[in-house]
Amino acid sequence: MANGVRTRVVEAGEGPPLVMVHGTGGHLEAYSRNVRDLSRHFHLILFDMVGHGYSEKPDRPYTIDVLSDHLIGVLDALEIERAHLSGESIGGWVAAWTAAHKPERVQRCVLNTPGNILNKPEVMKRVKESSLTAVREATPENVRSRLEWLFHDKSFVTEELVEIRRSIYTQPGFERAMENIVAVQNWEIREPFAWGPEWCGRIAAPTLLLWTDNDPTGGLDEAELLLKWIPDSRLHVIGDAGHWPQWEKPDEFNDIHLKFLLEGDR
Protein backbone atom coordinates (compact mmCIF):
# COMPACT_ATOMS: atom_id res chain seq x y z
CA MET A 1 0.00 0.00 0.00
CA ALA A 2 1.25 3.48 -0.91
CA ASN A 3 -0.71 6.42 0.44
CA GLY A 4 -3.62 4.02 0.89
CA VAL A 5 -3.41 2.71 -2.70
CA ARG A 6 -2.58 -0.88 -3.63
CA THR A 7 0.41 -0.34 -5.87
CA ARG A 8 2.42 -2.50 -8.26
CA VAL A 9 6.13 -1.97 -7.61
CA VAL A 10 9.24 -3.57 -9.10
CA GLU A 11 12.64 -3.20 -7.45
CA ALA A 12 16.08 -4.13 -8.76
CA GLY A 13 19.67 -3.54 -7.76
CA GLU A 14 21.44 -1.82 -4.90
CA GLY A 15 22.80 1.66 -4.41
CA PRO A 16 21.27 5.13 -4.25
CA PRO A 17 17.47 4.95 -4.70
CA LEU A 18 16.25 5.93 -8.19
CA VAL A 19 12.50 6.10 -8.79
CA MET A 20 11.33 6.15 -12.41
CA VAL A 21 7.88 7.57 -13.14
CA HIS A 22 6.03 6.65 -16.36
CA GLY A 23 3.75 8.83 -18.49
CA THR A 24 0.04 9.39 -19.13
CA GLY A 25 -1.84 6.10 -19.42
CA GLY A 26 1.45 4.27 -19.04
CA HIS A 27 2.89 1.60 -16.79
CA LEU A 28 6.23 0.53 -15.37
CA GLU A 29 7.11 -1.55 -18.47
CA ALA A 30 7.99 1.78 -20.09
CA TYR A 31 11.42 1.28 -18.49
CA SER A 32 11.98 -2.35 -19.46
CA ARG A 33 15.01 -1.46 -21.57
CA ASN A 34 16.71 0.41 -18.74
CA VAL A 35 16.48 -1.99 -15.81
CA ARG A 36 19.57 -4.08 -16.51
CA ASP A 37 22.05 -1.21 -16.82
CA LEU A 38 20.64 1.18 -14.23
CA SER A 39 20.14 -1.49 -11.57
CA ARG A 40 23.89 -2.11 -11.62
CA HIS A 41 24.37 1.29 -10.00
CA PHE A 42 21.07 2.12 -8.27
CA HIS A 43 18.33 0.69 -6.12
CA LEU A 44 15.91 1.00 -9.02
CA ILE A 45 12.21 1.43 -8.24
CA LEU A 46 9.53 1.23 -10.91
CA PHE A 47 5.84 1.52 -10.10
CA ASP A 48 2.44 2.00 -11.68
CA MET A 49 1.07 5.37 -10.63
CA VAL A 50 -2.32 5.49 -8.96
CA GLY A 51 -5.02 4.76 -11.57
CA HIS A 52 -2.47 3.35 -13.99
CA GLY A 53 -1.28 -0.10 -14.96
CA TYR A 54 -2.18 -2.67 -12.33
CA SER A 55 -2.27 -0.28 -9.38
CA GLU A 56 -5.54 0.54 -7.64
CA LYS A 57 -7.89 2.97 -9.40
CA PRO A 58 -9.89 5.12 -6.97
CA ASP A 59 -12.57 7.12 -8.78
CA ARG A 60 -11.21 10.68 -8.76
CA PRO A 61 -9.24 12.86 -11.20
CA TYR A 62 -5.55 11.98 -11.07
CA THR A 63 -4.25 15.51 -10.79
CA ILE A 64 -0.57 16.28 -10.32
CA ASP A 65 -0.85 16.64 -6.55
CA VAL A 66 -2.64 13.28 -6.29
CA LEU A 67 0.07 11.59 -8.36
CA SER A 68 2.79 13.31 -6.34
CA ASP A 69 1.24 12.22 -3.05
CA HIS A 70 1.17 8.66 -4.36
CA LEU A 71 4.85 8.88 -5.30
CA ILE A 72 5.69 10.05 -1.78
CA GLY A 73 3.57 7.18 -0.50
CA VAL A 74 5.72 4.73 -2.46
CA LEU A 75 8.86 6.19 -0.86
CA ASP A 76 7.25 5.96 2.57
CA ALA A 77 6.15 2.35 2.04
CA LEU A 78 9.70 1.41 1.03
CA GLU A 79 11.15 3.42 3.93
CA ILE A 80 13.18 5.65 1.61
CA GLU A 81 13.77 9.13 2.96
CA ARG A 82 15.38 10.63 -0.14
CA ALA A 83 15.70 9.47 -3.74
CA HIS A 84 16.63 10.47 -7.25
CA LEU A 85 13.57 10.92 -9.47
CA SER A 86 13.37 10.39 -13.22
CA GLY A 87 9.99 11.06 -14.80
CA GLU A 88 8.84 10.77 -18.39
CA SER A 89 6.01 12.89 -19.84
CA ILE A 90 3.47 13.50 -17.05
CA GLY A 91 5.87 11.55 -14.84
CA GLY A 92 8.35 14.39 -15.35
CA TRP A 93 5.67 16.87 -14.32
CA VAL A 94 5.01 14.78 -11.19
CA ALA A 95 8.73 14.54 -10.43
CA ALA A 96 9.17 18.30 -10.78
CA TRP A 97 6.09 19.05 -8.66
CA THR A 98 7.39 16.70 -5.97
CA ALA A 99 10.84 18.32 -6.05
CA ALA A 100 9.22 21.75 -5.63
CA HIS A 101 6.78 20.79 -2.86
CA LYS A 102 8.73 18.07 -1.03
CA PRO A 103 12.33 19.17 -1.59
CA GLU A 104 13.63 17.19 1.38
CA ARG A 105 12.64 13.93 -0.39
CA VAL A 106 14.42 14.56 -3.72
CA GLN A 107 18.15 14.32 -4.29
CA ARG A 108 18.45 14.87 -8.05
CA CYS A 109 15.78 15.09 -10.71
CA VAL A 110 15.58 14.09 -14.39
CA LEU A 111 12.70 15.50 -16.42
CA ASN A 112 12.48 13.25 -19.47
CA THR A 113 10.38 14.78 -22.30
CA PRO A 114 8.04 16.22 -19.64
CA GLY A 115 5.58 17.31 -22.28
CA ASN A 116 3.53 20.33 -23.32
CA ILE A 117 4.98 22.89 -20.93
CA LEU A 118 2.99 25.57 -22.81
CA ASN A 119 -0.36 23.76 -22.43
CA LYS A 120 -1.00 23.69 -26.17
CA PRO A 121 -4.70 22.83 -26.73
CA GLU A 122 -3.99 20.65 -29.76
CA VAL A 123 -1.59 18.45 -27.78
CA MET A 124 -4.02 18.19 -24.87
CA LYS A 125 -6.79 17.18 -27.28
CA ARG A 126 -4.60 14.59 -29.03
CA VAL A 127 -3.51 12.96 -25.76
CA LYS A 128 -7.06 12.87 -24.41
CA GLU A 129 -8.81 11.56 -27.51
CA SER A 130 -6.22 8.96 -28.49
CA SER A 131 -5.99 7.64 -24.93
CA LEU A 132 -9.75 7.30 -24.54
CA THR A 133 -10.12 5.66 -27.96
CA ALA A 134 -7.40 3.13 -27.13
CA VAL A 135 -9.43 2.03 -24.09
CA ARG A 136 -13.02 2.34 -25.37
CA GLU A 137 -12.12 0.52 -28.59
CA ALA A 138 -9.09 -1.46 -27.45
CA THR A 139 -8.26 -3.04 -30.78
CA PRO A 140 -4.62 -3.79 -31.55
CA GLU A 141 -4.78 -1.05 -34.19
CA ASN A 142 -6.00 1.65 -31.78
CA VAL A 143 -3.52 0.70 -29.06
CA ARG A 144 -0.74 0.62 -31.64
CA SER A 145 -1.74 4.05 -32.92
CA ARG A 146 -1.57 5.48 -29.38
CA LEU A 147 1.88 3.99 -28.87
CA GLU A 148 3.25 4.96 -32.28
CA TRP A 149 2.56 8.62 -31.54
CA LEU A 150 5.24 8.36 -28.85
CA PHE A 151 7.98 7.12 -31.16
CA HIS A 152 10.15 8.65 -33.86
CA ASP A 153 11.02 5.17 -35.14
CA LYS A 154 7.69 3.32 -35.26
CA SER A 155 9.41 -0.06 -35.58
CA PHE A 156 9.98 0.02 -31.81
CA VAL A 157 6.24 -0.53 -31.31
CA THR A 158 6.36 -4.32 -31.21
CA GLU A 159 3.49 -6.77 -30.95
CA GLU A 160 4.65 -7.54 -27.42
CA LEU A 161 4.44 -3.88 -26.36
CA VAL A 162 0.98 -3.54 -27.92
CA GLU A 163 -0.28 -6.63 -26.10
CA ILE A 164 1.17 -5.50 -22.76
CA ARG A 165 -0.79 -2.28 -23.05
CA ARG A 166 -3.95 -3.95 -24.38
CA SER A 167 -3.96 -6.28 -21.37
CA ILE A 168 -3.92 -3.25 -19.11
CA TYR A 169 -6.47 -1.27 -21.09
CA THR A 170 -9.00 -4.12 -21.17
CA GLN A 171 -9.15 -4.51 -17.39
CA PRO A 172 -12.67 -4.11 -15.97
CA GLY A 173 -13.28 -0.47 -15.11
CA PHE A 174 -10.31 0.89 -17.01
CA GLU A 175 -12.43 3.21 -19.16
CA ARG A 176 -13.38 5.17 -16.05
CA ALA A 177 -9.76 5.11 -14.91
CA MET A 178 -8.65 6.58 -18.24
CA GLU A 179 -11.22 9.35 -17.93
CA ASN A 180 -9.60 10.22 -14.60
CA ILE A 181 -6.10 9.89 -16.08
CA VAL A 182 -6.75 12.37 -18.89
CA ALA A 183 -8.65 14.82 -16.68
CA VAL A 184 -5.54 17.04 -16.59
CA GLN A 185 -5.91 17.52 -20.34
CA ASN A 186 -8.91 19.75 -19.48
CA TRP A 187 -7.72 23.29 -18.79
CA GLU A 188 -10.00 23.94 -15.81
CA ILE A 189 -8.48 20.91 -14.04
CA ARG A 190 -4.96 21.48 -15.34
CA GLU A 191 -4.64 25.19 -14.56
CA PRO A 192 -3.75 24.98 -10.83
CA PHE A 193 -0.81 22.73 -11.67
CA ALA A 194 0.36 24.30 -14.93
CA TRP A 195 4.09 24.75 -15.36
CA GLY A 196 5.28 28.18 -14.33
CA PRO A 197 8.21 30.06 -12.77
CA GLU A 198 6.47 30.44 -9.40
CA TRP A 199 6.58 26.78 -8.39
CA CYS A 200 9.41 25.69 -10.68
CA GLY A 201 11.62 28.26 -8.97
CA ARG A 202 11.23 26.30 -5.73
CA ILE A 203 12.99 23.23 -7.15
CA ALA A 204 16.28 23.03 -5.23
CA ALA A 205 17.45 19.65 -6.54
CA PRO A 206 19.95 19.67 -9.42
CA THR A 207 17.78 18.96 -12.45
CA LEU A 208 18.51 17.49 -15.86
CA LEU A 209 16.14 18.33 -18.70
CA LEU A 210 16.30 15.34 -21.03
CA TRP A 211 14.80 16.37 -24.37
CA THR A 212 14.66 14.87 -27.86
CA ASP A 213 14.63 16.35 -31.34
CA ASN A 214 11.32 14.71 -32.34
CA ASP A 215 9.09 14.99 -29.28
CA PRO A 216 5.46 15.44 -30.48
CA THR A 217 4.48 17.19 -27.24
CA GLY A 218 6.98 20.04 -27.15
CA GLY A 219 10.10 21.45 -28.75
CA LEU A 220 13.32 22.91 -27.45
CA ASP A 221 11.62 26.27 -26.93
CA GLU A 222 9.85 24.66 -23.99
CA ALA A 223 13.12 23.25 -22.67
CA GLU A 224 14.56 26.76 -22.75
CA LEU A 225 11.69 27.97 -20.58
CA LEU A 226 12.41 25.35 -17.95
CA LEU A 227 16.11 26.25 -18.03
CA LYS A 228 15.08 29.77 -17.03
CA TRP A 229 12.55 28.68 -14.43
CA ILE A 230 14.43 25.88 -12.61
CA PRO A 231 17.46 27.32 -10.80
CA ASP A 232 20.01 24.48 -10.99
CA SER A 233 19.09 22.93 -14.34
CA ARG A 234 20.89 21.79 -17.46
CA LEU A 235 19.81 20.36 -20.82
CA HIS A 236 20.74 17.25 -22.78
CA VAL A 237 19.14 16.52 -26.16
CA ILE A 238 18.89 12.98 -27.51
CA GLY A 239 18.80 12.86 -31.30
CA ASP A 240 16.58 10.69 -33.53
CA ALA A 241 14.07 9.96 -30.77
CA GLY A 242 10.50 10.90 -29.89
CA HIS A 243 8.65 10.90 -26.57
CA TRP A 244 10.16 7.64 -25.30
CA PRO A 245 13.95 8.01 -25.56
CA GLN A 246 14.29 5.35 -22.87
CA TRP A 247 13.16 2.84 -25.52
CA GLU A 248 14.53 4.34 -28.71
CA LYS A 249 17.95 5.31 -27.35
CA PRO A 250 18.41 3.25 -24.17
CA ASP A 251 22.21 3.31 -24.13
CA GLU A 252 22.40 7.11 -24.31
CA PHE A 253 19.48 7.43 -21.90
CA ASN A 254 21.11 5.13 -19.36
CA ASP A 255 24.54 6.72 -19.76
CA ILE A 256 23.34 10.28 -19.19
CA HIS A 257 21.47 9.12 -16.08
CA LEU A 258 24.63 7.56 -14.69
CA LYS A 259 26.74 10.63 -15.39
CA PHE A 260 24.25 13.10 -13.96
CA LEU A 261 22.89 11.20 -10.98
CA LEU A 262 26.27 9.94 -9.76
CA GLU A 263 28.00 13.27 -10.37
CA GLY A 264 27.68 14.34 -6.76
CA ASP A 265 29.21 11.06 -5.56
CA ARG A 266 32.44 11.42 -7.52
Rounded distance, CA 136 to CA 134, Å? 6
177 sits in which H/E element: helix 174-181
pLDDT tens for 37-90 read 999 999 999 999 999 999 999 999 999 999 999 999 999 999 999 999 999 999
Instruction: Output the pLDDT for position 263.
Output: 81
The CA-atom distances, in angstroms, between 85 and each of 77, 137, 253 are 16, 34, 14
Q: What is the DSSP string of 56-124?
A: ---SS---HHHHHHHHHHHHHHTT-S-EEEEEETHHHHHHHHHHHH-GGGEEEEEEES---TT--HHHH
Catalytic residue among 41, 70, 152, 243: 243
pLDDT tens for 88-141 read 999 999 999 999 999 999 999 999 999 899 999 999 999 999 999 999 999 999
CATH topology of domain 9-116+196-265: Rossmann fold (3.40.50)
152 assigned to active site: no
Which are the contacts of 106, defined by CB distance < 8 A and separation ≥ 6?
A: 82, 83, 84, 85, 95, 98, 99, 205
Instruction: Output the pLDDT for position 266.
Output: 42
Contact call for residues 95 and 87 (beta carbons, < 8 A): yes
Domain spans of the chain, in order of start: 9-116+196-265
pLDDT tens for 129-181 read 999 999 999 999 999 999 999 999 999 999 999 999 999 999 999 999 999 99
